[in-house]
Amino acid sequence: MNDQRRLMRFLLVLCILGLMVRVALAASFSGTIEDVSTDDKTITVKLAGKKEESKTFTLAPTAVILLDGKKAKFEDVSGGQTVVVLTNSGDTATKLTLKSPKNPPAGKKPKRTTEPGNESASDTGSWPQYQGPNRDNISKETGLLNQWPDGGPKLAWQQKGLGEGYSSVSIAEGKIFTMGTQGNQEMLLAMNSSNGKPIWTRQVSDSVFRNNQGNGPRSTPTVDDDRVYALGANGDLICVGIDQGEVVWQKNILREYDGSNIEWGISESVLIDGNNVICYPGGRNATIVALNKLTGQGVWRCTVDGSPRPSYASPILVDFGKERMIVNFVHTGVVAVRSKGGDFLWGFPQSANGTANCSSPVYSNGMVFTSSGYNTGCAMFKLGTGGKAKVEYDNKEMKNHHGGMVVLEDHVYGFDEGTLKCIDLKSGKTAWKDRSVGKGAVTYADGHLYLRSENGPVALCVATTSGYQEQGRFEPRNRSNNSAWSHPVVCGGRLYLRDMDSLTVYDVKK
């Protein structure tokens, strides 16, 4: 009798476990995609074997998308593709396995829908992170104005209410992302790229960094697939969904890695490298860390000798030979670490100052160029085999404070304090210089340099090694009382100028 009871209990437990497994198991649906909505990240699928039955799924922020066996993005999803949808609960899709149609109709475009006034990225361009898609301050756009009319290009729109902060803008999927303050909080803001109207806001930090040089966040958000990453001036790092701003994960990198804030606030814009988020807490436990971009969990960490604090610059990726490396300033110098595993490769003090290294490195043809202000200057590091490098030269020809630089045809364009210069990258010698704009920031698009003076004026000049050729200048509207330190962005035929509480946008398309 006891054996029978034990058997009954065992069978009952098996039934309960089986029921739990069946509830927990993900549901699977297959069919053909009928419609894709970029606004709310939904797809409508005509289900296989179900007459006239369709089902709409919302993609989870961390959903995996495979197209013909390769990792893809939401932009690659289109009507006519066959799909297997895996859901964890309800109608939320966690994985899409897609196959391209064998014989797509000639000339037929994929069906994608957007609400009026919220155009997709294909309509408004993409500038998904600080200094652009490749972090080189270079836009691939063409067909822009070669000369500005008197008074500058036409105003497209202006949006106020962004709060304090020196963040620039990122643009993707028909949305603009930046950071600012609201009350005693630092916020991540999403706006409609066609008119600047607010879409959502998300708290990054419950305290505002305050400083005599200006309050609020300094970093620019980074967009990757359907997620946005933002780093507050107090070290608070957040990952949210691109559509609604729902929090995926968050942490404070200074607390986690035993770091301390720097005088003018954490200013780097985090870098996405494959499946990792790269950031610089500069703590006793780690100088540089890689976090899993989907979970925020640590992947690797690198501690540089002396455990230097972070700088104010943002890292770049460099591919040279068989090596993929991450290069950036720390407080004491320029360092490079291996992208896979975080092994330290090389580091040099040249071009670093003891106060604030702010401008990101630039790279071209095996040469890494760095520069900082405070009467320090620049250096060029020539890369070699085995992930090594050597100092090719260091001089005071360019003392770039925080305005960034551009490399075009092995020439560097940037501000040497208050003087705009063009420098030969290989020799470090100045090709030309001009003081008419004053100290500021630079970006490049369609054969021209867009120059933003920290005092306000914006100028257009031809990107040439033969000398300064200005093609227009204007005073932006509604200047704040702070220095205009937010970097200009050219994207989707428009020029974006953030100035503390306002974002002003101009049409620069022909």
- Give 444-487 pLDDT, tens digit per residue: 999 999 999 999 999 999 999 999 999 999 999 889 999 999 99
Contact at 8 Å (CB) between 150 and 332? no
Confidence of residue 38 (pLDDT cuts 50, 70, 90): low
In degrees, rounded to 5, the angle at the alpha carbon of residue 185 between the alpha carbons of residues 38 and 401 is: 85
* Percent of the chain residues topping a pLDDT of 70: 88
d(Cα 376, Cα 374) in Å, to the nearest integer? 5
21, pLDDT greater than 80 = no
* Total Cβ atoms within 10 A of residue 156: 18
CB of 293 within 8 A of CB of 280?
no
Structure tokens at 41: 């990240």
**Separation CA 181–CA 197 (nearest Å):** 17
Closest by Cα among 227, 193, 221, 223 to 123: 193
Q: What is the pLDDT of residues 50-102, one digit of tens each?
A: 555 888 888 887 888 988 777 888 878 888 888 888 887 667 888 888 888 75
**Integer Cα distance of 168 and 191 in angstroms:** 13
Superfamily of domain 24-100: Copper binding periplasmic protein CusF (2.40.50.320)
Judged against a pLDDT cut of 50, whether residue 107 lies above it is answered with no
Residues 6+ positions from 356 with CB-CB distance below 8 Å:
262, 263, 264, 311, 312, 372, 373, 374, 402
Whether pLDDT at 371 is above 70? yes
Q: Which residues pair with 33 in a beta bridge?
A: 45
Look at residue 4 and give its three-state secondary structure: helix
Domain ranges, ordered by start, for the chain: 24-100, 133-162+402-510
CATH of domain 133-162+402-510: 2.40.128.630
